[in-house]
């Protein structure tokens, strides 16, 4: 290999790209429903990290959730003033069967793949596959909830004494069956939180009633 000191920051970046093309990287991800292969981070990231270390380059990925902008920065390890950014707009995925943290992780992984594939020019054209995955995830988010999930929501509404009309108005629906998965998990969180608050309040009331020196009067403790 050429003496690294003789190579500029941009030339070393290009060397990493060239080395990656020589590795014959393979996609291991497979969507059995749509029948296509796609990149997983582990398909290329370990080699990117190894080659960047070899050529004294450092990569940094982050998402600014206030602006919904993801950024991948390639930095010269010998001179932090020499760097290049790649950015992309992100939208938080709404994955069926996933909680809020899992949706954030899915968004993080998707954006990271896009930017690494772009910055290191890995297999041109594969960004469309990532877009396809995101579209499928959004399609799932717009699906109506299942009968089992309708039953869960109805049970929580009844258990918590939630006003159905206010619930329907909040989610802009006429009945529980019109709820989409993109709102389902928020509804579950809200109703579950209300259920826990009711349980906590009932426990506190029970504790007061058992005190030998006081009772309840209009929500206040009398001693």
| Pair (40, 136) in one structural domain | yes
Residue 5 has what pLDDT? 55
Residue 118 has what pLDDT? 92
Residue 196 has what pLDDT? 87
| Pair (132, 186) in one structural domain | no
Domain that includes residue 163, residue range: 147-222
Q: What is the largest distance, in Å, between two alpha-carbon atoms of the chain?
A: 86
Which of 141, 163, 182 is the last residue before a domain boundary?
A: 141
User: d(Cα 101, Cα 110) in Å, to the nearest integer?
Assistant: 14
Residue 222 has what pLDDT? 36
Which of 74, 106, 141 is the last residue before a domain boundary?
A: 141
User: d(Cα 182, Cα 143) in Å, to the nearest integer?
Assistant: 8
| Pair (14, 110) in one structural domain | yes
pLDDT beneath 70: ranges in the chain:
1-6, 93-98, 124-141, 204-223
Residue 164 has what pLDDT? 92
Residue 74 has what pLDDT? 97
Look at residue 6 and give its three-state secondary structure: helix
Check residue 60 and report its DSSP letter: E
| Pair (151, 121) in one structural domain | no
Residue 54 has what pLDDT? 95
| Pair (109, 185) in one structural domain | no
The model's pTM is 0.55
Residue 135 has what pLDDT? 59
């Amino acid at each position: 290999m050429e003496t690294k000191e003789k190579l500029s920051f941009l030339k070393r970046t290009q060397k990493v790209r060239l080395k990656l093309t020589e590795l014959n990287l393979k996609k291991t991800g497979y969507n059995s429903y749509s029948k296509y292969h796609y990149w997983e981070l582990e398909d290329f990231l370990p080699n990117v990290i190894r080659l960047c270390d070899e050529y004294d380059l450092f990569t940094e990925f982050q998402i600014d959730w206030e602006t919904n902008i993801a950024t991948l920065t390639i930095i010269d390890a010998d001179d932090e003033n020499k760097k290049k950014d790649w950015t992309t707009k992100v939208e938080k995925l709404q994955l069926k069967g996933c909680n809020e943290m899992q949706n954030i992780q899915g968004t993080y992984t998707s954006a990271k793949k896009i930017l690494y594939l772009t910055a290191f020019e890995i297999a041109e054209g594969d960004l469309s596959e990532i877009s396809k995955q995101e579209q499928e995830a959004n399609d799932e988010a717009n699906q109506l909830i299942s009968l089992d999930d309708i039953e869960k929501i109805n049970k929580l509404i009844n258990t918590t004494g939630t006003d159905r009309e206010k619930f329907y108005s909040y989610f802009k629906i006429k009945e529980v069956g019109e709820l989409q998965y993109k709102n389902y998990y928020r509804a579950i969180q809200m109703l579950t939180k209300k259920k826990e608050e009711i349980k906590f309040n009932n426990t506190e009331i029970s504790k007061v009633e058992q005190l030998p020196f006081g009772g309840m009067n209009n929500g206040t403790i009398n001693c």
